[in-house]
Structure formats: C-alpha cells, structure tokens
Structure 1
Amino acid sequence: MFSGAQVSLYPMADDFVRIILGSLSALDPYRERFRIETDDISTLLVGPPEELFPAMRDLHVAASRNSVHCVLHATVSRGCPGEPDDPICTPIGNRSTEMPLGRRIDGALRAATGATRIGQDVAAQLSLYPLGAGHHMDEIYGCIDFLKRSGVFGKSKNFCTTLRGDAGPVFATLSEAFLRFGSPEGHLALDLTVSANSPTAR
C-alpha cells in the first residue's frame, strides 16, 4: 500500500511566507510516522492513510490562526500502482473497504460523528475518484450518500461536493470518504480544497 498527499497552502496575507513556514511546525507530531518533504510548490505527506487528514487539518488550522483567510489544496492518493509499497503507509485501523457498501456508510457515519470540534470553521470541496474499480459509480454515489448524512454537508455542485462546519468534523468526514470508498486493491484519488476565514462567507 502507498498513501500520501501533495498539499499546498495559500494564506491571503502580506506575511504569507511567515505563515506558511510557521504552520509547518504543526506537522511535527507526525514526523516519526510520516515521510515529509517540502519544496517551493507543495509539501508531500507519505504515511498511514488514517493520519493523512488529521495532519492536513492541523496544518490548515495552524495557518488560519488570527482570522487569516487561508486555502489548502491537496491531491490525496492511496494504492497508486506507480508507487512502491511502503511499510510506513500500512493502515493502522480496521476500516475495511471489503464489506458491503451500506455497512461502510454506517461505519463512516459513526466514526465521523464522534469527531472533536477544533473551534475553526471551514468550507471544503472534494471530488472522489475510485480508479480501477469496476463499479466506480456505486462507490461515488455511496460516498455522496455518506456526505449528505454526515452533518457537515453543504451542497452538491458540478464535479464536487461541498462541506461546511467545524474543522474537526469536516476533516474527519473527509478522512472517512478517503478510507471507506473505492476498491481495496484499486487506486483511489481525492481532490480537495479547504478554505477558512473567507471574507465572502461573511
């Protein structure tokens, strides 16, 4: 298994360099379990799939402190056939994608419902791409059903679904979408944009 994300931060502030570099310390608790590489475009996170979204949550919340309008964009992937298996990416939980779709939806709802609130409101747009799955639309529709029942559903849009709410439940819902849907042997990709403190939301 290979799982990881390419993550970019876009703080809308004059001191964006300080904000981006300062927020990277939020990844320190994950460094023993992750391979983390930062360049001038993005930060690569490679590690256990269950911890990718908590790490991105902490990074984004750190960059959004003091009401800074900040956008996080990420391409998240698991099971990419072009990447070698990596022991660091071994799943650490019991979220199986092999059980029937209805049971996976119920499990995702239970897991996301108990998420701790962070105190930072966010809006997120995600698109899920189950690659190499014979019934990929069933997986997409199942994921959308879960998102609509998650408690943080915003609306469906062309090519994506919007979530709104506290960063804790929103990122927990995103994580469950990534972990529970798609073929267990197939490649799954998720395109994600998260915004905090947007002036248009006011």
Structure 2
Amino acid sequence: MQEQSCGRNDIVSASFSIHPMSDDFIDIILGALEEVDTSNVWSKTDDVSTSVRGTSAHVFDVTKALFMHAAKTGKHVAFQATYSCGCPGGSCEDANLEVGDIPVNNEKIKDTKQYVAAKFSLYPLGGGNYMDLIYQQIEAMKAFVTVSSAPLATRLEGEAIQVFNGLEKVFNATVEGGSSHNVMTVSISANSPSHN
C-alpha cells in the first residue's frame, strides 16, 4: 500500500541507524531505546534503519537522545541519519502535530558531556540560490562547534549536544529559507579509538 503523498514543511522525517562497535551492540541499542521517550513522534524500525516523523523539535529530540544514550556507554558509536522536510513523495500519516514543541528528552541529556566528530551536508531542493543558503548555514554552525571542510561534506567537532543543536538550527533555517524540499545528511562518531 502506497503512503499518502505529503510536501508539508511543518513535518520532518528522519531515517537513522546507530552502530555501536561492540559485541554487546544489541544491549546498547535496546538500552538507548528504553531511555528515550518517543511518544511525540511516529516511528518504525526495520532491519536497515529506524524512521521517525513529527515536528522538527521532536524529531531532533528523539534522534539526539538516542545517540546520546548509546554514546554514554563509552563504546565507539557511529550514527548515520538523513533528515527531510517537504518531500513531495513523503507521508503525512501519523505525524502528531498537536504535542507542542517542548523536547521531552532534554532533561535527561542536557548536561551530558560527549565529544564527537561529525560531517553533514545540506541539500535545499527546489530553490534558487541554494549554494548561498548552504554557505550561510555552514557559517551559522560556527556558533556551536568547530567547523572545517571535508570531501563532499562539512566537518564538525565538539560537544554532541552542541552538534545536534546546531544541526537542528541550520536545518530549520534552511527550511525557512524557502526551498520546497530540504534534505540534510549527518554522520557522527563518538568514542572513536582514532580520536587523539
């Protein structure tokens, strides 16, 4: 059955995977899921990834909290996500827009210290001067973390909370910039043995 088409800019979707580099990866993932309140988003998990859908505030709240709870184990954890808004082939089904914008997982994670390295790419689709918009948002990330260039992406280094806060801010600013369909890809690594 094909899902209902939706191009609304008030509904954000994310498809993500968390990969703990540990023999007890199942316990790490399930433990993170037990810690996180997902009641304000629609979610579905399959054998490749988990998808969540709802308001921007709650989609970023859930993905940030899941990553933070997995990373606090001290094991090397990799996180891959694609965030999308306004996709004409997306779905509006089950997106709960009546829950307000207060992130329900913030209290548990707001004081967590966790260094991460990350890369992100923005794709404002359906707009005009998209490179100007991308450069503006890369510049905006500098208020949150250390920013440098990387092949096919922009590299970020700093506290995980700040990385996610910055990603949420620049994604929302890209949506508000007028593109009809916006996509952001993110890769985040915590507790990597290659970090000096």
Displacement of 1:18: 1.5
Separation in structure 2 between the aligned mates of residue 140 and residue 127 of structure 1, nearest angstrom: 9
- Checking the alignment, whether the CA contact within 8 Å between 1:117 and 1:169 is kept in structure 2 is no
Q: Distance in 2 between matches of 1:201 and 1:85?
A: 40
CA distance in 2, matches of 1:194, 1:25: 21
Q: Quick check: 2:71–2:190 contact (8 Å CA) kept in 1?
A: yes
What are the equivalent positions in structure 2 for 1:63-102 lying under 5 Å apart? 63-85=70-92, 88-89=96-97
Paired letter, 2:124: P
2:66 corresponds, among 52, 59, 65, to 59
- Structure 2 residue identity aligned to 1:88: N
Identity of aligned residues (%): 34
Aligned residue pairs total 178
Amino acid paired to 1:132: G
> Over the residues paired in the alignment, what is the CA RMSD in angstroms?
2.1
Residue 189 (structure 1) aligns with: 183
Q: Distance in 1 between matches of 2:179 and 2:190?
A: 34
1:153 aligns with 2:160: no
1:128, 1:89 → 2: CA distance? 25
For residue 177 of structure 1, what is the aligned residue in structure 2? Answer: 170
Report the alpha carbon displacement of residue 185 of structure 1 after superposing the two structures with TM.
Answer: 5.4
Structure-2 change in CA distance of 1:15 and 1:52 (3 Å)? same
Deviation at 1:92, TM superposition (A): 5.2
Mapped pair 1:16 → 2:25: yes
Shift of 1:41: 1.1
Whole-angstrom CA distance in 2 between matches of 1:49 and 1:69: 27
Match of 1:126 among 108, 120, 142: 120
CA contact (8 A) 2:16 2:81 kept: yes
**TM-score of the pair, normalised by structure 1:** 0.80
C-alpha distance in structure 2 between counterparts of 1:188 and 1:159, whole Å: 17
Task: Give the letter aligned to residue 164 of structure 2.
Answer: F
* 1:70–1:197 Cα contact (<8 Å) kept: yes
- How far apart, in 2, do the equivalents of 1:91 and 1:152 lie? 30
- Structure 1 unaligned runs (5+)? 94-115
TM (normalized to structure 2)?
Answer: 0.82
Where in structure 1 do 4 or more consecutive aligned residues deviate above 3 Å? Answer: 84-87, 89-93, 182-185
Task: Return the offset for 1:187.
Answer: 0.4
Match of 2:16 in 1: 7
| Alignment match, 1:200 | 194
Q: Does the 8 Å contact 2:41/2:58 carry over to 1?
A: no
Answer whether contact 2:28 2:73 (CA < 8 A) is retained: no
